[in-house]
Structure 1
Amino acid sequence: MRFREADRMLKDDGWYVSDISGSHYQYKHPAKPGKVSVPNHPSDIPKSIVKSIRRQAGLK
């Protein structure tokens, strides 16, 4: 999964960018607790990181 795909997945679920720290974007949700950090690198995001992003965001 590329950064753009992860970004769209989170935004479609209602998450928005709350902060950018270096090459990592931090997302917040108006109703869900916590933050989700997504790396913005030119290569694909490793499957283990994608799994963690989905878990933190409360998706599948």
Structure 2
Amino acid sequence: MGRLSGVSGKRAAKVFQKFGYIVDHQTGSHTILYHEARPTLSIPDHKELAPGLLRGLIRKSGLSVEEFFTRK
């Protein structure tokens, strides 16, 4: 697939933390990330996130795909 494949939920959460997101809590298999100036993110703890889901999380956070992968 493309650049958006092969990213786990835990890895995505770590990358979002580099952009200022803070782990708020975990509900079931989802990690909830909080940021004061950006929307809250709910990231499933999957071995590999679907490309569309990851792209949606990146867009919701206000980042570009390029910004996300420069910090990966």
When normalised by structure 2's length, the TM-score is: 0.72
- The structure where strand makes up a greater share of residues is 1
* Identity level (%): 24
Paired with 1:45 and 1:52, the residues of 2 have a C-alpha distance of 11
4+ runs deviating over 2 angstroms: none
Letter in 1 for 2:55: K
When normalised by structure 1's length, the TM-score is: 0.84
1:1-51 deviation per Cα after TM superposition (whole angstroms, max 9, x unaligned)? 11232012100000011121100011111332x21110002x310001100
The SS at the match of 1:38 is strand
Which of 1 and 2 has greater Rg? Answer: 2
In structure 1, what is the equivalent of residue 41 of structure 2? 36
Structure 2 unaligned residues grouped into runs of 5+: 1-6, 65-72
Paired with 2:54 and 2:63, the residues of 1 have a C-alpha distance of 11
Pairwise CA RMSD: 1.1
Query: Number of residue pairs matched?
Result: 58
